[in-house]
């Protein structure tokens, strides 16, 4: 799921929209150009601070052009051109502070409260959440001193961790230390703009099913549906961003594994049921967003059937109702959330499913609207809990909807 290939969603919280970005001196600085461009298209106000070394990789003019605002450097810091100190103004202005790429040098300065340039001075003059996206050579990243600084800085509640995936680095090394991709950074920024840095799911395990299942007639033909799993992906990302541990049991999907999420790929409804039952005991919240098949061919044929051998009628048999089965094993401290993908009247069948399957809440999701349903990057829904409370969520990004759902069930 690449941001560049999809319509740009609007920001989650229009009143919390000012993002300050501190760019460190590393080759990964070029990736921040895409972050800035995407945020601007989403309606976010962006200001940029470049360290002296960062300017060797990307010029202030590039960032000024992308953000539609002059970029700041240390030269601005020392010149008396502002009525108030620049680092104070920027620190008070920001709703969120991203530092990317975060170098070993800047990390050490942050850990020990040093302030010898515009970037580090602004950090100390700010109180907003700070998202850190490290980037460095594997040997540098794995040094004990660097890891000590990293663990120390994350103990302070305002600092949020952008994980470093393994991959090919600019030094031709394959290993840890690679900066997260722009789409991952933008998603985390969206989440922080909604939560304002609150980690209300720390210590929680969120178990999510996603995508469509496939019930095979033979080796190549199956009964399925057009679900892509994007809603489940958004739920897993939102959970991680709010401090939870997330396990995503998914059928067919066309997206990269999100950072920090444990993924369990499955094919059939039976396999999904087995995986959900396996992880159920350790879960605090279970969300069944998958589009699970209702029936399967009565017989499976090994290999590909010749066209002439295809049955004129296809005997079908029901598959297990996963969410109803999970409800029988659910413990009092656990919450079980269902999805009801419907056309026409979405509330009546959702209420029936909520009560009949003993759910704590349900997401009534229209799939006959142009901006919601299978394969879309946007969605809309009516959230309903077991006490009858309802909340309508108008068309928004699926990540936005995921956060609204976590807000909603947090009050159930």
pLDDT in tens, the chain (412 residues): 333 344 555 555 566 799 999 999 999 999 999 999 999 999 999 999 999 999 999 999 999 999 999 999 998 876 655 678 899 999 999 999 999 999 999 999 999 999 999 999 999 999 999 999 999 998 899 999 999 999 999 999 999 999 988 887 777 778 788 999 999 999 999 999 999 999 999 999 999 999 999 999 999 999 998 899 999 999 999 999 999 999 999 998 767 778 899 999 999 999 999 999 999 999 999 999 999 999 999 999 999 999 988 988 999 999 999 999 999 999 999 999 999 988 899 999 999 999 999 999 999 999 888 777 788 889 999 999 999 899 999 999 999 999 999 999 987 6
DSSP letter, residue 72: B
Which residues are within 8 A (CB) of 20 and not within 5 positions of it... i.e. 6 or more apart? 46, 47, 48, 49, 90, 93, 94, 96, 97, 98, 122, 126, 128
Residue 105 lies in a domain: yes
237 SS3 class: helix
Helices (H), 43-111: 60-67, 74-78, 86-93, 104-111
The CA distances from residue 387 to 242, 270, 359, 412, in Å, are: 25, 31, 11, 8
CA distance 230 to 154: 29
- The pLDDT of residue 3 is 35
Shared-domain flag, residues 191 and 209 = no
Residue 8 lies in a domain: yes
| pLDDT tens profile 28-42 | 999 999 999 999 999
The CA distances from residue 222 to 229, 308, 405, in Å, are: 18, 17, 32
- The pLDDT of residue 82 is 60
CATH number at residue 21: 3.40.50.1950
Q: Identify the residue whose tokens are 């099913």.
A: 209
Known catalytic residues?
A: 171
Q: Residue 217: how many CA atoms within 13 Å on its side-chain side?
A: 16
Give yes or no for a contact between 48 and 23, defined as CB atoms under 8 angstroms apart. Answer: yes
Shared-domain flag, residues 231 and 101 = no
Number of domains making up the chain: 2
The CA distances from residue 109 to 71, 99, 153, 305, in Å, are: 22, 13, 10, 66
Shared-domain flag, residues 271 and 396 = yes
- The pLDDT of residue 10 is 58
Shared-domain flag, residues 130 and 255 = no
Shared-domain flag, residues 333 and 275 = yes
Mean pLDDT of the chain: 91
CA distance 335 to 408: 12
Domain end residue (candidates: 170, 195, 220)? 195
Shared-domain flag, residues 246 and 391 = yes
Give yes or no for a contact between 352 and 376, defined as CB atoms under 8 angstroms apart. Answer: no
The residue segments making up the domain with residue 338 are 205-410
Give yes or no for a contact between 102 and 133, defined as CB atoms under 8 angstroms apart. Answer: yes
The model carries a pTM of: 0.91
Give yes or no for a contact between 338 and 360, defined as CB atoms under 8 angstroms apart. Answer: no
The CA distances from residue 177 to 95, 220, 240, 267, in Å, are: 27, 40, 20, 33
318 SS3 class: strand
Return the number of other C-beta atoms located less than 10 Å from residue 232's C-beta: 30
- The pLDDT of residue 1 is 31
Residue 200 lies in a domain: no
Q: What are phi and psi of 131, to 5 degrees?
A: -100, 125
Return the number of other C-beta atoms located less than 10 Å from residue 138's C-beta: 17
Of the candidates 195, 159, 160, the residue with the CA atom closest to the CA atom of residue 12:
195
Rg of the chain over Cα atoms, rounded to whole angstroms, equals: 24
Shared-domain flag, residues 250 and 109 = no
């Amino acid at each position: 799921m690449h941001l560049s290939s999809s319509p740009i969603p609007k920001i989650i919280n229009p009143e919390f929209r000012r993002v300050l970005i501190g760019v460190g001196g590393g080759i990964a600085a070029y990736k921040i150009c895409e972050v800035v461009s995407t945020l601007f298209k989403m309606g976010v106000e962006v200001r940029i601070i470049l360290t002296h070394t960062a300017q060797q990789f990307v010029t202030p003019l590039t960032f000024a052009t992308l953000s539609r605002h002059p970029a700041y450097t240390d030269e601005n810091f020392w010149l008396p051109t502002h009525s108030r100190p620049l680092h104070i103004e920027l620190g008070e202005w920001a709703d969120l502070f991203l530092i990317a790429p975060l170098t070993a040098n800047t990390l050490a300065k942050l850990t020990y409260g040093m302030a010898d340039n515009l970037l580090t001075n602004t950090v100390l003059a700010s109180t907003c959440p700070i998202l850190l996206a490290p980037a460095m050579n594997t040997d540098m990243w794995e040094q004990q001193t660097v890891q000590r600084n990293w663990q120390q800085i994350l103990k302070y509640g305002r600092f949020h961790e952008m994980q470093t995936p393994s991959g090919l680095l600019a030094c031709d090394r394959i290993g840890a230390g690679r900066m997260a991709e722009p789409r991952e950074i933008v998603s985390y920024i969206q989440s922080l703009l909604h939560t304002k840095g609150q980690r209300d799911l720390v210590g929680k395990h969120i178990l999510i099913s996603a995508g469509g299942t496939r019930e095979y007639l033979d080796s190549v033909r199956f009964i399925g549906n057009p679900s892509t799993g994007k809603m489940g992906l958004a739920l897993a990302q939102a959970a991680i961003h709010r401090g939870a541990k997330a396990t995503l049991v998914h059928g067919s999907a066309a997206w990269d594994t999100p950072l920090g999420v444990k993924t369990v790929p499955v094919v059939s409804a039976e396999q999904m049921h087995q995986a959900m039952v396996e992880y159920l005991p350790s879960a605090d919240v279970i969300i069944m967003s998958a589009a699970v098949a209702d029936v399967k061919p009565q017989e499976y044929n090994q290999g590909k059937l010749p066209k002439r051998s295809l049955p004129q009628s296809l005997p079908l048999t029901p598959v297990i109702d996963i969410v109803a089965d999970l409800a029988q094993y659910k413990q009092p401290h656990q919450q079980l959330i269902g999805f009801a993908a419907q056309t026409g009247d979405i509330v009546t069948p959702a209420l029936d499913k909520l009560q009949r399957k003993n759910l704590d809440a349900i997401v009534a999701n229209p799939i006959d609207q142009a901006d919601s349903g299978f394969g879309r990057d946007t969605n809309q829904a009516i959230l309903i809990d077991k006490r009858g409370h309802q909340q309508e969520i108008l068309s928004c990004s699926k990540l936005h909807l995921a956060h609204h759902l976590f807000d909603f069930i947090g009050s159930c």
